[in-house]
């Protein structure tokens, strides 16, 4: 069942930033305690090729998000150590050097399991080993969540592995939702801030 | 759990078109049998104000979708009779006269229940009436599904009630996915057809 | 099991009137709090053809019911928005313009499920989608309830879809029951007010 | 859940007629095997006062029902022996002498339990006697069923104990349903045979 | 398991007497509260032929039972209304006019179910109607209970339908039990009051 | 639930006769295979005082039972060895010397458990010994069964411990039932063979 | 699981002695309350042939047991009445006249069930009678228990039906155990009091 | 429940003999396949003091047992390696050098668990370790089984730890049982071969 | 329960090597199909500091293992992409450039779950999110498995996170086990190949 | 699941030392209460050949372990009596004379069951004996546990039966872990005290 219209799950998750600090982030509290919107985006794996372009694109638009009172958080199921290695790899070498927003390291899949965005296509009981084995790498699809200042999800979108995201679309969605918050009006299709609703 | 990466559910649903015909649509078969992509979009209710702008916007872009081998289908939980009344209401009166793509009439909620997009925020057992009562109008959020020619979902996105959709973003996603289908490349962030990947 | 001899279920249901107001009605409290009898009648769908004649017939007899201390309430599973659109459609166009009693908008089927009057003829588990799917449009038959001032049901009657109701018969039943309330006598067959019991 | 739109339950029930014959009636087969409609009416108890007037009223209208290809069957939970004693009691003594249609003797409540029309208002487990005890006399309300030639119920109506039935209303309902069967039209409110639909 | 040696079940049951009064009898309290013995006898149905002779025979011996501090109560599963009709039917017409002891009207079978004396020879689940249906008329065998002043059953006897009872045998059993109560001796076979034990 | 109207349970039980033979008796087969009626009577214990008078009384009436095609069988829960010792004890010493009908030795309580005639007034779980302990001596009340040539029970009667039986009453019941078998008439109260029914 | 090393079960059992007194014995309390050892021996049935020789043998050795602070108790599943009859039967007639120690009358098998010494070789569910039937006479094997002053079992031995016991062996076991109690030494094989350990 | 009267369990158990051979013994087959009686005796532990005297005593009487067609088998829960070490320890050093009958090494407790002779006085679930822990050393009491040529147990006896056995008593029991086998007579108390039964 | 003495689980796991090939390894089949021993070692995470020294140490001893017919396989729960990034990181930068044996990428934890070597110290149900959340990073301890040519595990050892392994000890264990395989002798403590056993 | 990173189970186990004292050891408390590390090693059986060399090797290195604040404890499933016999057997005769550290006598397998180190390869339900029988001797593999001063396990290793342990490796592991405790550094592969980390 969709998370839209509900509170984002309250959960502490390991995180890493470009300083090499390891810390915990609770996405819900990030929104509510700081009275900010949050854009949380998941990508499948560190050290792959489509992913860094997305991370760089969100970095490039970071000012736009800040102007809209919005925090950006990236996330994958890799460990904090791997995040740090990637943060220290130059963009030319497929790295994400220069990214300054934090990255969740959901290696125990606590959060991604609740969100239901792991690429597990099947679970089978294996009698020989008396265990349940999963099919898939147990990493996430490209899922994106927009969360308002009260922690309520107002957009969730999930792309299949090979299809990258459009950063401008999220800016449009944030603007539209902010418009509703401020004006109490609904935003019709193709609405954009500054254009007539 | 997300439908991305999985087949869209196979289910016959009542539908209505502008001719007043009532018929059944199976979204999965619509894609697979006709070798087409499908864009399926849900809106909350007929005879409201934000919804018709979305329906008109998709109608306006119908040629773009056809050029991309993509069928457009609208959907709500109203009955076929109500769809027909709305289709016969002039745009100026808040109607959707002029819409030519079919509309699902999921009054029994068979499909929207599977998709998990109904606005039910709670279910409570009421002892007095020995029944389970739901909170919410039991209508859908603004959910959108992009389905490829094999019936696999490659995008799902859900907006909260008051936030309209951006038709161009779906065209971009279809182009990006088609690019992957044809070129076997992944599409980085902000990619657009004709721009260099 | 029949509701006759039992209290009508206590439940708040969305409603719409000809002024376009959306509000909640609790049928049981409508009777008990106002010390009135209630006639509650259900019809399958807005914007169909047999239904408006029934709605107009109850409207025409509204004075008779008021004289008998009886409130009339209509009901279907359409939304309040659809009710309002229909209330604004002229009688000549198949609308119900002129109806002044309130209409329940039981879009979440909370009340109609308890009453057991939905046209669900079967429920089947679909293994492919791991869901229970219903057969039928999930709308109500033509069910009518007569409720006394203490909230006790003293008549329930259900007609198949195509068979309209006879408003005079409900007036006769109300008179007969009132006669019993006042005189403490039972009312034999074919009894009518003013005719000798 | 209502029986309307479903087949009447197939069940053999004891019956008695004015000749003193005891035999079995299966209401469903009575309709299907003879290609007739059936009007089945239940009353609470033999040897009471409101009941005989109903039985005499149906007897008086028997020709009207026959003209409409409709069989009339009465029913209560008394035994066949009691039915026969009542059939042999003169009308002036509160008896039903002169009734010629058969009476079901559902003393084992097999059929009335399925129909859910017994006046059981509660069932309580009594620990002292390790048994479930019912509240109520375990007799039926005034329930009426109209069944078509295929055994499908097209009307069910239930009156509280003291309120008698109107025989003409059933004739109207039969006419209306027959009209639909023959003309394929729905019958609006207050419709009567011979009056314009 | 036999009730002998145990308290008779405590239960209020509808009853009728020759005055037409309807009231409740609790057999256990009838014995304990009044410090009397109770003879409770069940017969299958009102308005049959073997039954009235038994009822008349107990009436004829009523003085003998009173002399022995013993209350007589008859019982069947017919309603109080039917009991009254039978009490008003002359003996020559197969009635029980003249009977003065009360008759239980166990129409809801609360007591006869606990005693296990109903003629139900089988219970079968009927899948078509999703109900349990019983075989038999759901009336009682000819069961007799002798209960002492503390409510303990000291004799239970059950005859098949067509075999009538011998009133003198119950007088003998009461005398024998009273002898044991008074003398503290056991009563050998064929013992009769006044004959040497 | 009463055994009346049902087949007597089919079970082999140890038995002893006055010759000291130990053998098995199946009461049901005793009736059916020999086309005889059976009178089976149970008494609590060998070597007590009220019991031998009953056994002698049945012995004295043995010719009467044989004339009525009826086999007499006694029964208790003592062993065959104890039965034989008692059969060899003179009447003057409280023995039953002279009894020629067989005695069941139901020491394993297989049959008496099914009949539900053991004097167990309670079963309690004892935690200390992790066992269920019974209250009572686990011997039978004075239960009597009359069984017809097809094995159907037509009378069951149970007396409390200290109250002896009346042999003539069983002769009357057999005569009455035989009358019904031969004449197809029911036997009214107090009926006796040779007296007018 | 063996009772050796555990407390003997605490249970009141009916008993009889040569005076004809019926009373209750709790074997555990017999030991603990009187600070005595107890020898409890079970035999299958009264009025058989091998059993009386054992009972006489224990009687003959009663002084030896008393000298060792040991109470002797016999036991079978016969009733107290049967025990008394046997106690009154002369030794020459196969009786046990002269026995002065008490005999348990475990007719309800409460104790023998806990000990697990009944000759039940099978329990089968009989579908026809819906009951569990046992194979075997439900009497005990020749089981013997030696219990110390604290109620702890220090020997249990069970012989098949036809093999009698050796009274001297129990005296040896009591002596050996007493030796351990007094000297704190273990008693090697074949040890006898007075012989060198 | 006692094993007397039942077959000894069929189970292969590790064994050791004085030659140092490790092999399997199935006690039941030892009896049945060789048409011999078996005396199986259990002792608690190797390398203790009371135990070797028992093992030597059985060794000393081995000829007597062979004359009676009886095989002797010793048993404890020690391993075969420990048995061999003890068999190689001189009698003067507390060893069992000179023992020639085989010794079961039931280190996995398969057989002793079935026999119920382990000194486990309690089993407690320990929440901290989520395991069931036993109280006691999990070794056997001094249990002895006499088994006939068909594998049926005709004696079982269990002594508490410190009380040694009497080899002659087992010879007496074997003689008594053989007497019954040959003569078909039961053996009264204190019977000994050659003495008059 | 330990895997020693049992077959290693048969499971296909993703793997990466220094060529950048992604492929599947089934450890059991690696041993059995190639008739080789396998040394499988797990480390917690890529891009940490203690781990690379272990990986380099195994690489340095690779010839020794090959001489002993032993395949070396490393393993962690990182993805194949991360393994490849680490394989391409120079040793001086904390990388593992130069490692030629394959590395399992058990990102879905299928194998590590069966082995029970994940650092999950607790699992708690979180009611707010209706999910089970784990404590720990869900990565493995330093576990090592030695598997023989038939797939049987002959050593398993697990070190806490911060304690590195001793490569020579595994060579000793392989030599000792090979000695047993070849000589059929057991290897005493501290045994080393070439030293006298 | 591995015990590494968790507390060692808290359990009292029987133990024996070279003085012949029997006492209880709780391994966890041995570490925590004395603020010592513990090396606990298990071997399969007393009186075998590979085992004593291991026991002598640990004895020889006892000083090294004491220098490292480490207690050595041996363990098998043999009884304390067998341990004592083995401790009294000269080394030349395969004994362990000279061993001074304590030996656990886990004859009831309470601890080895929790550790999961018993050689049970299968458990099968045997219907004939209604018991679960195990395959294997129910003795332990060569398992070794290193436990720190807080009772946390920092190494567990298990060798198959025939492969002896290397005492020096445990000294290295203790040194490495102590280094981490003192220096807060992780210990890379092949690290040894005094060599550069």
How does DSSP assign J54-103, residue by residue? HHHHHHHTHHHHHHTTEEEEEEESS-HHHHHHHHTS-GGGT--TT--S-E
Which subunits sit against E, judged by 3+ Cβ pairs under 8 A? Answer: D, F
- H189–G166 CB contact, under 8 Å: yes
Helix or strand (DSSP H, E) at C111: helix C110-115
Catalytic residue among J28, J31, J51, J153: J51
pLDDT at residue number D51:
67
State how far residue A113 is from chain B, nearest Cα, in angstroms. 9
CA distances from I59 to A149, I14, J196 (A): 53, 20, 20
As given in the structure block, the two tokens for residue A38 are 């949050």
Q: Taking all residues of chain I, what is their mean pLDDT, rounded to a whole number?
A: 92
C81 contact residues in B (CB cutoff 8 A): 45-48
- F129–G109 CB contact, under 8 Å: no
Catalytic residue among H40, H51, H71, H103: H51
pLDDT at residue number I50:
66
Taken in order F56, F60, F64, F67, is the CA torsion positive or negative?
positive
- A193/A187 Cα distance (integer angstroms): 10
- G145/B150 Cα distance (integer angstroms): 80
Average the pLDDT over I84-109 and give the result.
Answer: 95
CA distances from B156 to A2, B170, B179, C169, J31 (A): 11, 10, 18, 53, 57
Minimum-distance CB partner of E57 among F53, F163, F190: F190
As given in the structure block, the two tokens for residue B39 are 């864009």
Q: Does domain G12-183 have CATH number 2.40.37.10?
A: no
Helix or strand (DSSP H, E) at F52: helix F50-60
CATH number of B12-166: 3.40.30.10
As given in the structure block, the two tokens for residue A113 are 């399991």
Residue B36 — very low, low, confident or very high, per pLDDT cuts 50/70/90?
Answer: very high
Size of interface G-H (CB pairs under 8 A): 154
Q: What is the pLDDT of residues C158-197, one digit of tens each?
A: 999 888 999 999 999 999 999 999 988 776 778 777 665 4
Phi, psi of J84 (to 5 degrees): -65, -40
Coil, strand or helix at F170: helix
Interface probe with A: pick from B153, B168, B189, B191, most Cβ of A within 10 Å? B189
Taking any CB pair shorter than 8 Å as contact, residues of chain J touching chain H are 9-11, 14, 45-48, 77-79, 81-82, 84-86, 89, 107-110, 113-114, 120, 126, 128-129, 131, 133-134, 136-139
Which subunits sit against B, judged by 3+ Cβ pairs under 8 A? Answer: A, C
Interface probe with F: pick from G76, G108, G121, G136, most Cβ of F within 10 Å? G108
- G134–F110 CB contact, under 8 Å: yes
What DSSP designation does I139 have?
A: -
- F163/F182 Cα distance (integer angstroms): 33
State how far residue C108 is from chain D, nearest Cα, in angstroms. 18
DSSP assignment of chain B, as one string?
---TTSBPP--EEEEE-TT--EEEEEHHHHHHHHT-EEEEEE-S-TT-SHHHHHHHHHHHTHHHHHHTTEEEEEEESS-HHHHHHHHTS-GGGT--TT--S-EEE-TT-HHHHHHT-B---EEEEETTTTEEEEES-S-B-EEEEEE-TTSBEEEEEEE-TTB---HHHHHHHHHHHHHHHHH---B-TT--TTS--
Minimum-distance CB partner of I180 among J49, J163, J186: J163
- F113–G131 CB contact, under 8 Å: yes
State how far residue A31 is from chain I, nearest Cα, in angstroms. 18
State how far residue I118 is from chain J, nearest Cα, in angstroms. 8
Q: Is residue A77 annotated as a catalytic residue, yes or no? A: no
Q: Taking all residues of chain D, what is their mean pLDDT, rounded to a whole number?
A: 92
- J164–I57 CB contact, under 8 Å: no
Q: What is the pLDDT of residues A18-41, one digit of tens each?
A: 998 889 999 999 999 999 999 999
Burial class (CB in 10 A: 0-12, 13-18, 19+), G187: buried
Question: Closest Cα to residue I118, out of I45, I46, I170?
Answer: I45
B167 contact residues in A (CB cutoff 8 A): 189-190
Average the pLDDT over C93-110 and give the result.
Answer: 96
pLDDT at residue number H188:
75
Question: Closest Cα to residue D166, out of D186, D139, D142?
Answer: D142
Q: What is the pLDDT of residues G105-151, one digit of tens each?
A: 999 999 999 999 999 888 888 887 788 899 999 999 999 999 999 99
Minimum-distance CB partner of A137 among I89, I108, I138: I108
H in contact with J (at least 3 C-beta pairs within 8 A): yes
Is the model's pLDDT at G197 over the cut of 50?
no
- C6–D190 CB contact, under 8 Å: no
Using only the alpha carbons of chain B, give its radius of gyration. 18
- I189–J57 CB contact, under 8 Å: yes
State how far residue F9 is from chain G, nearest Cα, in angstroms. 6
Q: What is the pLDDT of residues B53-84, one digit of tens each?
A: 999 999 999 999 999 999 999 999 999 999 99
Interface probe with B: pick from C29, C103, C129, most Cβ of B within 10 Å? C129
Query: Known catalytic residues of F?
Result: 51
- B189–A166 CB contact, under 8 Å: yes
- C164–D187 CB contact, under 8 Å: yes
Instruction: Give the chain F residue whose CA is nearest to the CA of E50.
Output: F188
CB under 8 Å to H158, separation ≥6 — which residues? G2, G4, G155, G156, G157, H117, H141, H142, H143, H144
- G134–F14 CB contact, under 8 Å: no
- F22/F24 Cα distance (integer angstroms): 7
pLDDT at residue number H195:
66
Which subunits sit against H, judged by 3+ Cβ pairs under 8 A? Answer: G, J
Instruction: Give the chain I residue whose CA is nearest to the CA of A78.
Output: I78
- B166–A164 CB contact, under 8 Å: no
J27 contact residues in H (CB cutoff 8 A): none
* Predicted complex ipTM exceeds 0.90: no
- J140/J109 Cα distance (integer angstroms): 9
Is the model's pLDDT at I122 over the cut of 90?
no
Q: Does domain D12-165 have CATH number 3.40.50.1000?
A: no
- B163–A180 CB contact, under 8 Å: yes
- H164/J48 Cα distance (integer angstroms): 30
What DSSP designation does D193 have?
A: T
- F112/F143 Cα distance (integer angstroms): 10
- E46–D113 CB contact, under 8 Å: no
Size of interface E-F (CB pairs under 8 A): 154
Helix or strand (DSSP H, E) at J50: helix J50-60
Instruction: Give the chain D residue whose CA is nearest to the CA of C174.
Output: D163
Q: What is the pLDDT of residues B109-135, one digit of tens each?
A: 999 999 999 998 888 888 877 888 999
Cα C143 versus chain centre, distance? 6
- E160–F154 CB contact, under 8 Å: yes
State how far residue G181 is from chain H, nearest Cα, in angstroms. 10
CA distances from C164 to C83, D2, D169 (A): 20, 17, 12
pLDDT at residue number E123:
87
CB under 8 Å to H155, separation ≥6 — which residues? G157, G158, G159, G160, G163, H4, H144, H145, H146, H170, H173, H177
State how far residue I9 is from chain J, nearest Cα, in angstroms. 15
- A163/F69 Cα distance (integer angstroms): 96
Using only the alpha carbons of chain D, give its radius of gyration. 18
Minimum-distance CB partner of H50 among G116, G177, G187: G187
Q: What is the pLDDT of residues F3-45, one digit of tens each?
A: 999 999 999 999 999 999 889 999 999 999 999 999 999 999 9
Which is it for strands F12-16 and F103-105: parallel, antiparallel or unpaired? antiparallel
Residue E50 — very low, low, confident or very high, per pLDDT cuts 50/70/90?
Answer: low
- J121–I189 CB contact, under 8 Å: no
8 Å CB contact between A47 and I84: yes
Interface probe with I: pick from J165, J182, J189, most Cβ of I within 10 Å? J189
Range name among A78-87, B128-137, F39-48, G13-22 with the lowest pLDDT average: B128-137
Instruction: Give the chain J residue whose CA is nearest to the CA of I152.
Output: J160
More confident residue, I123 or E112: E112
Tokens 């603990």 appear where? G32
- I103/G122 Cα distance (integer angstroms): 61
pLDDT at residue number B62:
97
Catalytic residue among G3, G16, G31, G51: G51
- J113–H136 CB contact, under 8 Å: no
State how far residue B137 is from chain C, nearest Cα, in angstroms. 5
Which subunits sit against C, judged by 3+ Cβ pairs under 8 A? Answer: B, D
Average the pLDDT over I137-151 and give the result.
Answer: 97
Query: Known catalytic residues of B?
Result: 51
pLDDT at residue number D195:
66
Cα C182 versus chain centre, distance? 25
């Amino acid at each position: 069942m969709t998370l839209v219209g509900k509170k984002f799950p309250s959960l502490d998750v390991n995180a890493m930033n470009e300083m090499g600090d390891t810390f915990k982030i609770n996405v819900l509290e990030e929104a509510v305690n700081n009275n900010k919107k949050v854009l949380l985006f998941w990508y499948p794996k560190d050290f792959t090729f489509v992913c860094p372009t997305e991370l760089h694109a969100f970095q490039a638009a970071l000012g736009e998000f800040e102007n809209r009172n919005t925090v950006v958080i990236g996330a994958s199921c890799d460990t904090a150590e791997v995040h740090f290695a990637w943060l220290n790899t130059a963009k030319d070498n497929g790295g994400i050097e220069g990214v300054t927003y934090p990255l969740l390291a959901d290696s125990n899949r606590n959060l991604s399991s609740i969100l239901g965005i792991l690429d597990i296509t099947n679970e089978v009981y294996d009698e020989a080993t008396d265990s349940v084995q999963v099919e898939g790498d147990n990493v996430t699809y490209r899922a994106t969540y927009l969360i308002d200042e009260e922690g309520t999800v107002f957009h969730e979108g999930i792309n299949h592995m090979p299809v990258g995201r459009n950063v401008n679309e999220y800016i449009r969605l944030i603007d539209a939702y902010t418009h509703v918050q401020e004006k109490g009006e609904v935003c019709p299709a193709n609405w954009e801030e500054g254009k007539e609703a």
